[in-house]
Structure 1
Amino acid sequence: MDTGTHVVMGFALGGLATLDPVVAQDAVHFHSVLIATVLGSQAPDIDTVLKFKNNAVYIRNHRGVTHSVPAVLLWPLAITAVLSIFFPGTDALHLWLWSFLAVFLHVFVDIFNAYGTQALRPFTYKWVALGVINTFDPFIFTIHVIGLVAWALGAQPGATFLAMYFIIFLYYIAKFLARHDVKKAVLAIIPDAENIIISPTIRFNQWKIAVKTKDAYYVAKAYKSDITVLDKFKRLPVPENDILQAAKQDKNLSAFLSFSPVYSWQVKEYEGGYQVRFTDLRYRTNGHYPFVAVVKLNQDLEITGSYTGWIFNKDKLKKKLDVVPR
C-alpha cells in the first residue's frame, strides 16, 4: 500500500489497541503502543530510501528483505527495545504484540497489490503479488480517515476500528470475487492463456490485464467482466547473441529482468552502436508503456548508457541514456 494508507492504518491499530485492558489502563501504555503501531506500520518501507541511490537498486530490493519473515519478527523487537527506554514501566510484551501486529499487517496487505513483496524470504525469493487491491485504494484510505475523525469526535476507538476492519474484510472478499470474474472472462476469449496477470486500478471495477500464451502476449483492460484487448505482441524468445549478452550485464537491465514477468524487447542499430530496449507490458497507460529498461552500447558492445524506470517522453530517456553508468 502507499505511505499514506500505512500511516492511517498505524493510528487505527493504536485505536484498536484500546480493546486491550493492559493498553487501556493508563496513558503511558496507550501512548507507547500508539507510537509502536505507527512506527510498525512504516518500518518495512524504510527501504524506500534506496530510490535515492538508483532505480536498479530500488527495484531489486524494495519490499524485499525489509518485508521478509525475519524482518517481521525483528522490527517489533527493535521498536519495543527503543520505546521501552522512553516509556519505562510499560508492558514490553503487549508493546511487542501490537508493534508485531502493525508490522505483520503492513507486509500482509502489501501482498494484495500487483507489485507484491518477497514476504516468504528466506524460504523463497519468489514475489508474492495477488493483484487484488491497488497500491492506493480510495475506499480503504477513506474508511480509515472516517474512523479517525469519529475517534477525534469522541467515538469509542476500539469498537469503531473493529467495525471498520470487518467492513474492509468484506471489501477484500468483494474484490477477490470481482477479480475471479475477470479471470474467467479472460479465459473465455483467450483459452490458451498460460499466465494471466490481473492488476487492480484505483477504480473498483476496472482492471489492467497482461496475458501470456505459447506464441503471444496480450494486453487488455476490463470493466467488470467486459474484456477489451488493446495490443497483441508476438512472443519471441530473447536470442543468445553477443549484443543481448552484453546488454544483460548491465545492472539496470538485470534489475528489470528480475522484476518483470511479461515484456517485449527490441534491438535497434544506429550510427555508432546499438540500443536494446525491454518494455514491461503490465503498465499500459494512455496507449503508452512507460516502464522500460534501455541499454545503449557502442560498436565494441561496451555499455555507454542505461536506464530502468518510468519514461513518459523521449527527451527524458535521451537525457538518462547520456549518463554513463557507474
Structure 2
Amino acid sequence: MDTATHVVMGFAIGGLATLDPVVAESTVNTQSVLIAAVIGSQIPDIDTLLKLRNNAVYIRNHRGITHSLPAILFWSVLVAAFVYFIFPEANWTHLWIWSLVAVSVHVFVDIFNAYGTQALRPITSRWIALGMINTFDPYIFGIHVLGIVIWLLGGHPGYTFLVMYIIIALYYVLRFIMQKMVKSAVLKTIPDAERIIIASTMYFNQWRIAVTTKDHFYVGRAYRRSVTIFDKFKRDSVPDNDIFRAAQKDKNVSAFLSFSPVYRWEIQRYDDYTEVRFIDLRYRSNGHYPFVAIVKLTDELEVITSYTGWVYSEEKLRKKVRVATD
C-alpha cells in the first residue's frame, strides 16, 4: 500500500488496541502502543531509502528482505524496544504484541498489490503479488479516515476500528470474487491462456490484464466482465547470443529481469552502438509501457549506459539515458 494508507492503518491499529484490557488500563500503555503501531506500520518501507543509491538496487530489494518473515520479528522487537525506551513504565509484552501486529499487517496488505512482496523469505524468494487491491485504494483509505474522524469526535476507537476491519475484510473477499470473475472472462476471450496477470486499478470495476499464451502476449483491460485487448505481441524467447548475454549482465537489466514476470524485448542497431530494451507488460498506461530496462552496448559489448525504472514517455526515457551517460 502507499505511505498514507500505512499511516492511517497505524492509527487504526493503535485504536483497535484499546480493546486489549492491559493497553486500556493506563494512559501510558495506550499512548505507547499507539506510537508503536504508527511506527510499525511504516518501518518495513525503510528500504525506500535505497532509491538514493539507484533504481537497480531499489527494484531488486524493495519489499524484499525488509518484508520477510525474519524482518517482521526484527522490526517488531526494534519498534517495541525504541518506544519502551521512551515509556519505560509501559507494559513490554503488550507493547511488543501490538508492534508485531502493526508490522505484520503492513506486510500482509502489501501482498495484495500488483507489486507484491517477498514475504515468505527465507522459505522462498518468490514474489507474492495477488493484484486484488491497488497500491492506493480510495475505499480502504477512506474508511480508515472515517474511523479516525469518529474517534476524534468521541467514538470508542476499539469498537470503531473492529467494525471497520470487519468491513474491510468483507471488501477483500469481494475483490477476490471480482478478480475471479475477470479471470473467467479472460479465459473466454483467450482460451489458450497459460498465465493471466490481473491487477486492480484505482477504479472499482477496472482491471489491468497481461496474458501469456504459447505464442503471444496480450495486454488489455477489463471492465466488470467485459475484456478489451489493446495490444498483442509475438512471444519470442530472449536470444541466446553474445549481445543479450552481455545485456543481461548489466545491473539495471538484471534487476529488471529479477522482478518482472512478463516482458518483451526489442533490439535496435545504430552506427556505433546496439540498444537492447526490455518492457514490462503489466503497467500499460495511456498506450505506453512505463516500466522498462534499457542498455546501450558498444561493438565490443561494453556497456555505454543503462537505465531501469518507471518512465512515462519516450522523451523522458531518452533524457534518463543521457543523464546516466553523463
TM value normalised by structure 2: 0.98
Q: Return the alpha-carbon distance in structure 1 between the equivalents of residues 302 and 322 of structure 2.
A: 14
Give the corresponding residue for 2:96.
Answer: 96
Equivalent position SS for 1:300: coil
Q: Return the alpha-carbon distance in structure 2 between the equivalents of residues 307 and 324 of structure 1.
A: 7
Equivalent position SS for 1:267: strand
Give the corresponding residue for 1:279.
Answer: 279
Residues 1:202 and 2:202 aligned together: yes
Judge conservation of contact 1:306–1:323 (CA < 8 Å) in 2. no
Residues 1:72 and 2:65 aligned together: no
User: CA shift at 1:80, angstroms?
Assistant: 1.4
Q: Return the alpha-carbon distance in structure 2 between the equivalents of residues 320 and 157 of structure 1.
A: 48
Q: Return the alpha-carbon distance in structure 2 between the equivalents of residues 311 and 73 of structure 1.
A: 35
Give the corresponding residue for 1:52.
Answer: 52
Q: Return the alpha-carbon distance in structure 2 between the equivalents of residues 7 and 125 of structure 1.
A: 27
Q: Return the alpha-carbon distance in structure 1 between the equivalents of residues 320 and 305 of structure 2.
A: 8
Give the corresponding residue for 2:310.
Answer: 310
**Alignment identity in percent?**
63
Give the corresponding residue for 1:153.
Answer: 153
Q: Return the alpha-carbon distance in structure 2 between the equivalents of residues 314 and 190 of structure 1.
A: 30
* 1:255–1:325 distance in 2 versus 1, CA, 3 Å: farther
User: CA shift at 1:325, angstroms?
Assistant: 6.9
Question: Partner letter of residue 275 of structure 2?
Answer: Q
Give the corresponding residue for 1:257.
Answer: 257
Runs of 4+ in 1 over 3 A off after TM superposition: 323-326
Question: Partner letter of residue 119 of structure 2?
Answer: A
User: CA shift at 1:271, angstroms?
Assistant: 1.4
Q: Return the alpha-carbon distance in structure 1 between the equivalents of residues 205 and 255 of structure 2.
A: 32
Q: Return the alpha-carbon distance in structure 1 between the equivalents of residues 83 and 252 of structure 2.
A: 39
Question: Partner letter of residue 170 of structure 2?
Answer: L
Q: Unpaired segments of 5 or more residues in structure 2?
A: none
Question: Partner letter of residue 169 of structure 1?
Answer: A
Equivalent positions of 1:131-150 (< 5 A) are 131-150=131-150
Superposed CA RMSD: 1.1
Q: Return the alpha-carbon distance in structure 1 between the equivalents of residues 105 and 317 of structure 2.
A: 37
User: CA shift at 1:191, angstroms?
Assistant: 1.1
Q: Unpaired segments of 5 or more residues in structure 1?
A: none
Q: What per-residue deviation string (whole Å, max 9, x for no partner) do you get for residues 95-138 of structure 1?
A: 00000000000000000001100000001000011110000000
Q: Return the alpha-carbon distance in structure 2 between the equivalents of residues 195 and 214 of structure 1.
A: 10
Q: Return the alpha-carbon distance in structure 2 between the equivalents of residues 324 and 184 of structure 1.
A: 44
Q: What per-residue deviation string (whole Å, max 9, x for no partner) do you get for residues 233-268 of structure 1?
A: 000010111111111111000000001111110110
Give the corresponding residue for 1:105.
Answer: 105
Q: Return the alpha-carbon distance in structure 2 between the equivalents of residues 304 and 323 of structure 1.
A: 12
Judge conservation of contact 2:113–2:133 (CA < 8 Å) in 1. yes
Give the corresponding residue for 2:85.
Answer: 85
Q: What per-residue deviation string (whole Å, max 9, x for no partner) do you get for residues 144-191 of structure 1?
A: 000000100000111100000011011111101100000000011111
Residues 1:243 and 2:243 aligned together: yes
Q: Return the alpha-carbon distance in structure 1 between the equivalents of residues 220 and 257 of structure 2.
A: 22
Give the corresponding residue for 1:220.
Answer: 220
User: CA shift at 1:318, angstroms?
Assistant: 2.1
Q: Return the alpha-carbon distance in structure 1 between the equivalents of residues 316 and 220 of structure 2.
A: 27
Give the corresponding residue for 2:62.
Answer: 62
Q: What per-residue deviation string (whole Å, max 9, x for no partner) do you get for residues 253-300 of structure 1?
A: 000000111111011001101000010011110111111100011121
Give the corresponding residue for 2:295.
Answer: 295
Question: Partner letter of residue 132 of structure 2?
Answer: V
User: CA shift at 1:73, angstroms?
Assistant: 0.8
Judge conservation of contact 2:288–2:313 (CA < 8 Å) in 1. no
Question: Partner letter of residue 18 of structure 2?
Answer: T
Q: What per-residue deviation string (whole Å, max 9, x for no partner) do you get for residues 201-230 of structure 1?
A: 001110000000110000010000100011
Q: Return the alpha-carbon distance in structure 1 between the equivalents of residues 229 and 42 of structure 2.
A: 38
